[in-house]
Structure 1
Amino acid sequence: MSGNQRFFFLVPPQVQLLDITGPAHLFYEAKEYGAEIETIYLSLDDAIEQQSGAGIALGNLTPFHQHSLGPNDLLFVPGMDVQILFTENISKIFHSFFEWLREQYQHGAKICSVCTGAYLLGYAGLLDGKECTTHWKYMEDFQSRFPKAKVLSDRLIIKDGNLYSSAGVSSGIDLSLFIIEELFGPVFTSKIAKEVVIFLRRTENDPQLSVFLQYRNHIDTRIHQVQDVLAQNLSTKTAIEELAEIVHMSPRNLTRLFKKTTGITIGDYLDKLRVERAIQMLSSGSKVSAAASACGLQSPNQLRSLLKKHTTSLPSDWHK
């Protein structure tokens, strides 16, 4: 995406605190690391302050209807007290907001729900025919209220076009990191994850993590530093001795510690980085020779061999 990114955070009555503060803090850190973003907090009415479900008041809000969103904008819709969500005439109470939400989606804005925030998207009709998820406790109720939605269980994050949904509470943090990776790349995202000491959590059914973010669910700064060096210097060959010197260790100790900390050898980790980078480039139309060079390999044949080893099949044009 190009241009300045705007991130809007809806603060509804009785908002679930972590649903809003978790994602908000991740984007604050991204801004601190140089991302050109702006954060704006919205209310569902003309109030400039809203009480959270935890009793903490959140202020500096502006009414939602004062803003118009577009393709460079993203809106987080957090969960709120279910007693409000289950109010019989909620569609009438928040009619103007639901109409506004549909308009922003039609304008190309990305809409992201956290936990029971998916209900608001459902009431607005955005989830008809769309894959989505919500908090496990409300799966059956959600599906009964929105029968046209394709509700998936046991999923932490789901993306369907410009709609994103997450399972609840802390998964809003995972969703934020997922979006940050989409916008600013995996290396930048790994820095944010490291900064907040919250490394990504997924189940085997979740969208696959970039390998640039995998194997980093640890707090050993020396190994993180080695991983950073490898990821940022794929086009050049970095000897184990150089890596060891950077973190003031012997090559033998580094080899042992890397495997113990990440569960994978340095060589295998480097291969995985190369495979993902190559696939990204080839999928974008790059030639095999260019991808091989960018991955620090000596020839296209060397890259083809690596891809055959780590992927089940290759598109025919990748053999050129």
Structure 2
Amino acid sequence: MIKDIIFVIPPKVHLLDINGPAHIFYEAKEYGADINLYFVTISNEQEIQSSAGLYFAKLSNFEKFELTEDDFIFIPGIEFQLLSDSEFIQKSKAFLDWLNIQHSNGVNICSVCTGSFLLAESGLLDGHKCTTHWKYFNEFANKFGEVDLVNNRLFVVDDRLYSSAGVSSGIDLSLFILEQQYGPKFATDIAKEVVIYFRRSESDPQLSVFLQYRNHLDTRIHDAQDYMTKHLHTSFTLEDMAEYVHMSSRNLTRLFKKTTGITAGAYLEKLRIDKAIHLLADGNKVSYVANQCGLKSTNQLRALLKKHKEILPVNFTYI
């Protein structure tokens, strides 16, 4: 079981990267987990200003901790330009050396967002899989060629090295760790406590379908996509959608594929799959889920899930 969790507070830290996981483990303590939370600086500074301007104070120095295989270290993301500052990296060398010692002692080390860059600077990720925020994927790949970088994943686990894509995925990673340590019911109770609708898994993509295929400037296609999302529970037709966006069905079909790269029908299926996974994971009956996804029967829902089984979460049991 987890004993100590060390939250590293570097300069210009992103608040949710550190506060999100910290709150998850705080709630775990409230639910009876016998763990200790510590907040440390990687330098001699006792006051650290976050990227948002909020200050952290009364921090411990990382060097006072000698950890074991029961312990975890969380390294959050920071402002990206600081990670390219050679002076900052040099000042962090003692901390990076300490990370190596802790990992050799069996300690579990987790990075959130651009915290993966700092972890990679230690050399610990060489030869291992990891992920990072999608926005900085190319920069990471170019700088750390010895690391097996995995694209479009919420988090990756490899030899007690945990990396997550950023911001809210640090929360998903924390719940994953709690599930490993205390079981799925405990993790689910914590997720409900902090009002998280659905706990995402290691295999989920960084961007949901509601954000994918929206990187375009065509207002009519955005309107069509919004229409699908709003009317997902109904049995609307292509003609209904075309009338809503003031286009012919033929022109909408052509323009949707040209603009997004996929057909309107394929996009609709992706919306239905995403909604079904969330509703089923939240404990809803299969018949209710089928209805909310605009499907005529539970058999139709199961057929859709089987068709897209390669994108379903690990251990998904509804097909």
Q: What's the TM-score, normalizing by structure 1?
A: 0.65
Native 8 Å contact 2:74 2:111 kept in 1: yes
- The farther-off stretch of 107-116 and 50-59 is 50-59
SS at match of 1:9: strand
Matches within 5 A, 1:108-257: 108-198=106-196, 199-202=198-201, 217=278, 257=288
Question: What residue number does 2:220 align with?
Answer: none
* Structure 1 unmatched runs, 5+: 208-213, 228-253, 269-279, 281-306, 311-320
Distance in 2 between the 1:217 and 1:32 partners? 26
> Is contact 1:46–1:62 with CA below 8 Å preserved after alignment?
no
CA distance in 1, matches of 2:202, 2:126: 26
Q: Structure 1: how far apart are the matches of 2:276 and 2:71?
A: 31
Give 2:68's aligned amino acid.
G
**Residue type at the aligned position of 2:128:** K
What's the CA shift for 1:14?
A: 0.6
Q: Deviation per CA, 1:242-295, whole angstroms, max 9, x where unpaired? A: xxxxxxxxxxxx885576579998xx9xxxxxxxxxxx9xxxxxxxxxxxxxxx
Q: AA paired with 1:83?
A: Q
3-state SS of 1:71 partner: coil
CA distance in 1, matches of 2:202, 2:34: 31
Matches of 1:261 and 1:138, distance apart in 2: 36
Residue 145 of structure 1: how far off its partner (Å):
1.1
- Mapped to 1, the partners of 2:18 and 2:170 lie a distance apart of 8
Question: What is the number of equivalent residue pairs in this alignment?
Answer: 232
Letter in 1 for 2:200: R
2:75 is the counterpart of 1:100: no
Q: Distance in 1 between the 2:127 and 2:36 partners?
A: 32
> In structure 2, how many angstroms separate the alpha carbons of the residues matched to 1:5 and 1:261?
43
Q: Distance in 2 between matches of 1:205 and 1:256?
A: 24
Matches within 5 A, 1:238-277: 257=288
CA distance in 1, matches of 2:203, 2:94: 39
User: In angstroms, what is the RMSD of aligned CA positions?
Assistant: 3.1
Q: What is the correspondence of 1:40-59 to structure 2 with a 5 Å cutoff?
A: 40-59=38-57
**Any gaps of 5 or more consecutive residues in structure 2?**
207-274, 303-314
Matches of 2:128 and 2:19 in 1, distance apart?
A: 27
> Are residues 255 and 22 of structure 1, via their aligned partners in 2, closer, same or farther at CA, if it must alter by over 3 Å?
closer
CA contact (8 A) 1:157 1:206 kept: no
TM-score using structure 2 length: 0.65
Letter paired with 2:173: L
Instruction: Assess if the C-alpha contact under 8 Å between 1:157 and 1:175 holds in 2.
Output: yes
Residue 173 of structure 1 aligns to a residue whose secondary structure is: helix
Q: Alignment identity in percent?
A: 43
1:30 to 28, 31, 36: 28
What's the offset of the Cα at 1:201?
Answer: 3.0
Instruction: Report the AA paired with residue 123 of structure 2.
Output: G
- Which residue identity lines up with residue 191 of structure 1 in the other structure? D
CA contact (8 A) 2:175 2:187 kept: yes
The SS at the match of 1:22 is helix
Matched, 1:17 2:12: no
Q: Contact 1:72 / 1:109 at 8 angstroms: preserved in 2?
A: yes
Equivalent AA in structure 1 for residue 40 of structure 2: L
- Cα deviation, 1:189-213, whole Å, max 9, x if unaligned, reads 0000111111223585569xxxxxx
Q: d(CA) in 2 for partners of 1:175 and 1:255? A: 27
Change (3 A) 1:81 1:258: closer
C-alpha deviations, 1:13-64, integer Å up to 9, x for none? Answer: 0101110000000001111111111100010112333111001112231011
